[in-house]
Amino acid sequence: MAQKKLLFVDCCISNHASRTKKLCNDFLMEFKKKNDVIVETVIINAGSVSSFTGEQLDRRDGFIAQNDYSNEMFNMARQFALADYIVIGAPYWDLSFPSLLKVYIENIMVNGLTFCYAETGMKGLCLAEKLYYITTAGGYILQDYNMGYDYIKAISYVLGIKEAKCISAEGLDIIGNSPDDIVSKVISQLGEI
């Protein structure tokens, strides 16, 4: 049987030693101990994704209308659709996540590759059985307004991914807290997850 593929969407874009990235790396290490997977990483930065202009959307729609997904603009969507597991790592920024992650999502939402329209609405075409969303926050994530994860969970749902899970380390920038201890505690619980 072919080895399963885990896609790591790395949006840990800080220049400093990212705590989110550390949590992601430890999660991936733990996951690989228990699952025989190949990890493919897509690094999200200003060079790897860009938002659409009207002209680019017209071009994209033209390809989609002809059922032609050979252009490289569809590579990220194809990679996302074919992964068996997805891990998204992104810090908690302004109550959600860095805007480049939204740009990535716009790039992978492709009619005919990651979803299609059925009579009842959008139908997911992604193979992944599970998506993990990993984040760290300076304060505490507002439970009633968890806009980063809730959005990603909704995206997973429409793309056909059966299960989504959020792993977070919070309160890292609160004076008196020890960020290393908080991150280590979450890491120590990863085995159970």
Ligand X SMILES: Cc1cc2nc3c(=O)[nH]c(=O)nc-3n(C[C@H](O)[C@H](O)[C@H](O)COP(=O)(O)O)c2cc1C
Q: Where does this chain bind ligand X (CB under 6 A)?
A: 12, 14, 18-21, 91-95, 136-139, 172-173
Q: Name which of 76 and 141 has its Cβ closer to ligand X.
A: 141
Give CA 40 to chain center in angstroms: 13
Nearer Cβ to ligand X (138/160): 138
Q: For residue 39, what are the β-bridge partners?
A: 6
Q: Output the CA torsion 147→12→160→187 (10° steps).
A: -90
CA atoms of 20 and 15, how far apart (whole Å): 12
Choose between 20 and 146: whose C-beta lies nearer to ligand X.
20
Least distance to ligand X, CB of residue 138, Å:
3
CA angle in degrees (0–180, nearest 5) for 116-119-120: 90
Instruction: Give me the least distance between CB of 40 and ligand X, in Å please.
Output: 21
Q: What's the closest the beta carbon of residue 190 comes to ligand X, in angstroms?
A: 17
37 vs 128: CA distance, rounded Å: 13
Whichever of 136 and 146 has its CB closer to ligand X, that residue is 136
Picking from 45, 123, 117, 110, the residue whose alpha carbon sits closest to that of residue 78 is 110
In whole angstroms, the minimum distance from the beta carbon of 92 to ligand X comes to 4
Least distance (Å) between residue 105 CB and ligand X: 19
Helix, strand or coil, per DSSP, at residue 116: strand
Residues 49, 43: Cα–Cα separation, whole Å: 9
* Residue 147 burial (CB count, 10 A): 14
Q: Which is nearer to ligand X, 127 or 190 (CB)?
A: 190
* Residue 88 Cβ vs ligand X, minimum distance, rounded to whole Å: 13
